[in-house]
Amino acid sequence: MKSFEWTVVGSDIGPLLLAATADGLVSVAFHADAPARDRAVDRLVAQLGGTPRQVASGAGAASAGGPAAPGRLAEPICQFAEYFAGRRRDFDLTLDWSLTSGFNREVLRELASGVPYGAVVGYGELAARVGRPDAAQAVGAAMGSNPLPLVVPCHRVVESDGSLGGFGGGRETKRKLLALEGVLPEPLF
């Protein structure tokens, strides 16, 4: 059982739910309006078995350079604000990998360490990097189950022909993130 803290922060791609255990950031969830937030917290309770504790985001203060929320989420909140402001290219956070295991964890760790800001990788290439060149579809499944999107940048994984492919946060969110990182041009409107 792992107790966790959670909060919702605003971002350029909509509200994000951030959750952390004593071991580190454990979950990031997109589009965290009230119903999605409640589902995400309930899912974390079921997966972690611990008690949730909501904390104030302090997002306004963090984005203005002031103090962020106390506790486990202070640094993640600050780094997310810096990322969306264009002042951070790499997240430097302690991560709790307990919501993923096996092949998925192996793929996600390779993605986190081997695909930098402003770069993309194909599903097949990522499969080859972990020694399973025929597992492109399994890499897609790993991306879909990523509990730490943005920090573990599944938005940087594209189809072999360069098209966007799928994304748990939606294709428009993926476009915005790749534009933020300079991979795609900013939309005209």
For residue 180, what are the contacts with CB-CB under 8 A and spacing of at least 6? 12, 84, 86
78 noted as active-site residue? no
Q: Give the model confidence (pLDDT) of 99-132 as tens digits.
A: 999 999 999 999 999 999 999 999 999 999 999 9
pTM of the model: 0.90
8 half-sphere exposure, CB direction, 13 A CA radius: 15
Asked whether residue 68 carries a pLDDT value surpassing 90, the answer given is: no
What pLDDT, on the 0 to 100 scale, is given for residue 186?
Answer: 67
Q: Give the model confidence (pLDDT) of 12-48 as tens digits.
A: 999 999 999 999 999 999 999 999 999 999 999 999 9
Share of the chain above pLDDT 90, in %: 84
First to last CA, the chain: 47
Of the residues 17, 28, 154, 177, only one is catalytic, namely: 154
